[in-house]
Amino acid sequence: MAATSRGTSPVPPDVRPRLTVLSGPSGVGKSTVVAHMRKAHPEVWLSVSATTRRPRPGEQHGVHYFFVDHDEFDKLVANGELLEWAEFAGNHYGTPRKAVLDRLEAGEPVLLEIDLQGARLVRQSMPEAQLVFLAPPSWDELVRRLTGRGTESPEVIERRLAAATIELAAESEFDITLVNTSVEDVARELLALMRVV
């Protein structure tokens, strides 16, 4: 089954790459799409976020996240060094601004995979960014994906579904919507939007 898209056409290929932001509800498959896309096109630069949470087993500083303490994070915010930031489950997450701008200046395609709050902040600070919403094929499919993980309590799932309702309602704030019916097709469409061939 092919991925479908809604929204405006991508800009002509002769225009310099711009920042692309991928967002959507929890469980829609953002990380899976990005991993598939970068396997085939490692030249697509995925921004590494700074976070105050502790590393999980196997996570490396500078690869998965930049792990910082709360004081360091507060300094990044105060100095305007983050493109966007948010608090989630008691921890802070943010996108370092300079790395994104440096890559864009070098003409490299840059992708941010962030939540709705972060996407809204990027839209405020970089109106030229392209915001892409990843939507599930249906509400029932999203519920199936979230409950099928089997790793979270009913309370956590309930919170995620409540958040997903709010996130889905924000679809109209994005430039284009890709419906995740096929990881391969969505990854291909996302690459086309980013003008990576």
Whose tokens are 């929204």? That residue is 7
Q: Considering the entire predicted model, what is its pTM?
A: 0.83
Domains in the chain: boundaries: 1-44+109-197, 48-107
- pLDDT-derived band at 174, boundaries 50, 70, 90: very high
> Considering the domain 48-107 in this protein, what is its CATH number?
3.30.63.10
How many helices and strands in the chain, by DSSP H and E?
A: 7, 10
Both tokens of 53, joined, read 């949470």
Predicted pLDDT of residue 149: 66
Q: What is the pLDDT of residues 15-34, one digit of tens each?
A: 566 799 999 998 899 989 99
- Hey, which CATH number is domain 1-44+109-197, 3.30.530.20, 3.40.50.300, 1.20.120.790, 2.130.10.30? 3.40.50.300
Higher pLDDT, 1 or 116: 116
Cα 180 from Cα 5, distance rounded (Å): 9
Residues 6+ apart with CB under 8 A from 107: 16, 17
Q: What is the pLDDT of residues 72-119, one digit of tens each?
A: 999 999 999 999 998 877 899 999 999 999 999 998 889 999 989 899
- pLDDT-derived band at 11, boundaries 50, 70, 90: very low
